[in-house]
Amino acid sequence: MTTPADVPLKRRTFLSLVFGWCSAAFALAASVAAAGRFLVPNVLYEPDRRFKALKPEEYPEGPTFLPNLRVFLFRKGNSFRAVSAVCTHLGCTVNLAASGFHCPCHGTVFNESGSVVSGPAPSPLSWFLLSLSRDGRLVIDTAQQVRPDRYLVV
C-alpha cells in the first residue's frame, strides 16, 4: 500500500505527484482569489463626491455646517475654505468648539485650521477643493484635498 522508504521514487511518479499537487494548489489559490475579488464591488451607488452648494454671498460670515457632506464651510469676507468634519482618527464627525474642533469619540482636539492640538488623530482635518461653477455657485469636491492655506477668493 505504502512505498517503503528504500525503494527509489520513479521519475514518472515524482512528476505526476508534483503536477497533481501544483494543480490542486493553483486551483485552490485561484478560487480563493476569485472569491475575494468578488467581494470588492465594481460599481458603487453612492452620492457624487462633488457637491454644488449655494452662491457664495448666500453664506453667512463664519462657519456653516453642510451635513450631507460632513464639511464646514468657512466664510471670511470674500474668502472661503471647506474643512472636512470627518475625524482623521476613526471617522467620527467632529463638533465645532470655541476655538477649533472636538471629536466626541476619542477626544482629539483640532485647531481652527484643522491641525491636531491633542489626542490620537494622526493627521489634520482635510481641506477640500473649492471652485465656482459657471452659474456662480460654490462647488466642493470632497475627492480632492488642497493645502491648508488655499482659500477661494471670490
Partner 1 sequence: MLERLWKSFQGTRLGRSIFRVGLPGSNLERAQVAISSFLLHFQPAKVNRRALKFRTTLGLGLISLYLFLILTATGVLLMFYYVPSTARAYQDMKDLEFVVTAGLVLRNMHRWAAHLMVLCVVLHLCRVFYTAAYKPPREFNWVLGVCLFLMTLALSFTGYLLPWDQLAFWAITVGTNIAGYAPLIGKKLQFMFLGGHVVGESALIRFYVLHVLVLPAVAILFIAVHLWRVRKDGGLASPAEPQVLQEELQPAQLPLTKTYGLMELARGTTPMVGLKPEEEVFTWPNLIFRELLLFLATVAVVLVLSIAFNAPLEEMANPVHPPNPAKAPWYFLGLQELVSYSAFWGGVIVPALIVFALLLLPYLDRKRRGVGVWFSHERRLAIGVFTFCLVTAVVLTVIGTAFRGPNWSFQIPWKPAAAATEGH
In the complex, the residues that contact partner 1 under the rule CB under 8 A are 36, 39-41, 44, 46-47, 65, 67-68, 70, 89-93, 95-98, 101-107, 119-120, 122
Q: Least distance in Å: CB of 134 to partner 1? A: 28
- In the numeric block, the cell 472569491 is attached to 35
CB nearer to partner 1: give 35 or 149.
35
Q: What is the DSSP string of 96-146?
A: EETTEEE-TTT--EE-TTS-EEESS-SSPPPEEEEEE-TTS-EEEEEEEEE
CB nearer to partner 1: give 107 or 136.
107
CB nearer to partner 1: give 46 or 135.
46
Q: Least distance in Å: CB of 111 to partner 1? A: 14
Question: Rounded CA gap, 69 and 143, in Å?
Answer: 11
CB nearer to partner 1: give 5 or 12.
5
Q: Least distance in Å: CB of 106 to partner 1? A: 4
- In the numeric block, the cell 462657519 is attached to 63
Question: Rounded CA gap, 114 and 1, in Å?
Answer: 73
